[in-house]
Amino acid sequence: MPVDGKPIVAGKPVEGGAGSLQAVDPATGEEFGPAFGLVDARQIEDATRAAEAAFDVFRAQAPDERASFLRRVADNIEAIGPELTARAVRESGLPQARLEGERARTVGQLRMFADVVAQGDALQARIDPALPDRKPAPRPDLRLAHVPVGPVVVFGASNFPLAFSTAGGDTASALAAGCPVVVKAHNAHPGTAELVGQAVAKAVADSGLPGGVFSLLFGEGNAIGQALVADPRIKAVGFTGSRAGGLALMRTAAARPEPIPVFAEMSSTNPVVVLPGALAGDAVEDLAAAYVGSLTLGSGQFCTNPGLVFVPSSPQGDRFVAAAGRLVAEAVGQTMLTGPIARAFEAGVEALAAEPGVETVARGTGGSGPNGPAPGLFTAGLASLTANPRLQEEVFGAAGLVVRYPSAEALAEALEAMEGQLTATLHADSGSPADVEDARLLIPVLERRVGRIVFGGWPTGVEVAHAMVHGGPFPATSDPRGTSVGSLAVHRFLRPVSYQGVPDALLPPALREANPWNLNRRVEGAVVPGGEQ
């Protein structure tokens, strides 16, 4: 598939009507072609109108048909693997192995959603048959199923050119729900977005679906995002990015005559708690090495990067800080995704180092290119953290703050006051009675502040699975009831509708007596397998 720089409106490549932009190689800072056409206001409206027009056809698909469509998308992306990876490497500065893994994750989650759709349980069909003889009043026939909310706009993420972008988790789950998708491509990797967009558009056409099921738009600045979210045909938003960007979209969505949900993943420092037993003996050296490995992985450009680590104020805690500092000092900066991201990291590190009560433990060495800033490690006391909210702010990149705490009780109080987070990690000796008691104190606090609790590992690395939650209380996400990773993500784009006394012929297939889709359904509160109805 050639990269020709054309946005895709309702399944068709078009010439941009509002200028153009070029990709930038972050390893060198050089622009390279082709020029990517930016859409104008009319083309934005063309995409949303087509999405609205395609909605009823797309939502009416039988589960096996939609599952086949999602598998076609996955197959098409897999088929362009080498070309896609090469383009993504040049546009993102990420290593080939990382992007090959991300491509596998992208197609894997599409196939997972295909299985979810085929199973049909996401519709959550429920039937309470009529009870005409019930006293003192009869009960009407009541049936419930979840239906798609309507066209969804998805914003590509800078740090995951594949798994959180054009056909990433938000797009895959919205399509699985039966919602047409309009993707606003991230300008850091437009060619990668176009290649994936072509693969999706081909699957739409080969499945006999209307072109409006999928559009891919390029645009510069905030205006395109605001226009998409304000468009009355859009019914939900998926976003991964900065807190400022997410809040701006939330304000626009809330100010509409018909407000809509914004599922925004924003900022998180992902606290890691180290209890005394985890630092016993020589374990401290291994723990420090694992921490620095997680901190610097991918230049720290993961939304689950361990930005805050809580370590006891003890000699073993001192050893941990010293060992981590030696490793960070030896680390070399890796190319960051864009020049602006690298500059924001440098500014964030300088600001953190200047905060009262913060000491610089170590700085690594800058990379050879223009966008490879040196990793950094800093330390502060728990009192400084609680007194200064700025120490809790995310520095996107390989920068970590080690916070020393005097007791589990003091730590629990500080954690309770923290902002919402995507993850929290606990390192403890499960054979130590003291660690177990401290963990019992801390876990309920962490449950209130995060969406995922990791024990004995590190938060970088989000498994695509049915039991995964990649979300959390604000500002980690705008809605802590959902997730952007895992099969539960599809529920963000569905809503329940109850049908009272509706004749069988007029009911959606999921609720008809014959159960033509062979779904598992909850009848009078009990689950009845599809084969038994």
Residue 281 predicted with pLDDT over 90 = no
Mean pLDDT of all residues in 406-429: 97
Query: What average pLDDT score do residues 173-193 get?
Result: 98
pLDDT (0 to 100) of residue 4: 96
What is the mean predicted confidence (pLDDT) over 355-362?
98
For the segment 245-256, the average pLDDT, to the nearest whole number, is 98
Structure tokens at 287: 């723990």
Q: Indicate the angle between helix axes 223-230 and 243-255, nearest 10 degrees.
A: 40
Average pLDDT value for residue range 487-500: 98
Please give the average per-residue pLDDT across 16-28, as a whole number.
96
CB 149 within 8 A of CB 177: yes
Of all residues in the chain, the percent with pLDDT exceeding 90 is 98
pLDDT of 172 reads 98
Residues 6+ apart with CB under 8 A from 230: 252, 256
The one catalytic residue among 52, 91, 194, 265 = 265
Give the start-to-end residue ranges of the domains of the chain.
10-266+481-492, 272-455
Question: How many C-alpha atoms does 359 have within 13 Å on its Cβ side?
Answer: 10
What mean pLDDT is predicted for residues 504-514? 97
Residue-level pLDDT at 282? 87
Say what the pLDDT of residue 277 is. Answer: 97
H, E, C per residue of 197-246: HHHHHHHHHHCCCCHHHEEEECCCCCHHHHHHHHCCCCCEEEEECCHHHH
Q: How much is the average pLDDT of 396-417?
A: 98
Query: Contact, 179 vs 55, CB < 8 A?
Result: yes
Q: What is the pLDDT averaged over residues 221-243?
A: 96
> Active-site residue 179, yes or no?
no
| pLDDT > 90? residue 294 | yes
Residue listed under structure tokens 């909850």: 522
CATH topology of domain 10-266+481-492: Aldehyde Dehydrogenase; Chain A, domain 1 (3.40.605)
Q: Is 147 helix (H, G, I), strand (E, B) or coil?
A: strand
Determine the average pLDDT of the residues in 169-185.
98
For residue 401, the model assigns a pLDDT of: 98
Confidence of residue 432 (pLDDT cuts 50, 70, 90): very high
Reported confidence tier of residue 533, pLDDT bands at 50, 70, 90:
low
The single residue of 91, 194, 303, 419 carrying the catalytic annotation is 303
Q: Tell me the pLDDT of the chain averaged across its residues.
A: 97
What is the Cα 71 distance to its own chain's centre?
A: 21
Q: 405 pLDDT band (50/70/90 cuts)?
A: very high
Q: What residues contact residue 326 under an 8 Å CB cut-off, 6+ apart?
A: 362
Q: Which helix (H) or strand (E) holds 22?
A: strand 20-25
Residue 18 and residue 245: Cα distance in Å, rounded?
22
Tell me the per-residue pLDDT of 310-327, one tens digit each, with 9 for 90 and over: 999 999 999 999 999 999
Determine whether 354 is exposed, middle or buried from the number of CB atoms within 10 Å of its CB (0-12, 13-18, 19+). Answer: exposed
Cis peptide before 136 (omega within 30 of 0): yes
Q: Is 330 tagged catalytic? A: no
| pLDDT tens-digit map of 93-106 | 999 999 999 999 99
pLDDT at 429: 96
Determine the residue type at 285: E
In which element (H, E) is residue 403 found?
strand 399-405
Same fold, 10-266+481-492 and 272-455: no
Instruction: Determine the average pLDDT of the residues in 124-143.
Output: 97
What superfamily in CATH does domain 272-455 come from?
Answer: Aldehyde Dehydrogenase; Chain A, domain 2 (3.40.309.10)
Q: From the CA atom positions of the chain, what is the Rg in Å?
A: 25
8 Å CB contact between 188 and 338: yes
Gap between the Cα atoms of 105 and 40, Å rounded? 33
DSSP collapsed to 3 states, 314-343: CHHHHHHHHHHHHHHHHCECCCCCCHHHHH
The answer to whether residue 221 scores a pLDDT higher than 90 is no
**pLDDT band with cut points at 50, 70 and 90 for residue 531:** confident
Is the per-residue pLDDT at 215 higher than 90? yes
Res. 461 pLDDT band, cuts 50 70 90: confident
Copy the structure tokens of residue 279. Answer: 């630092």
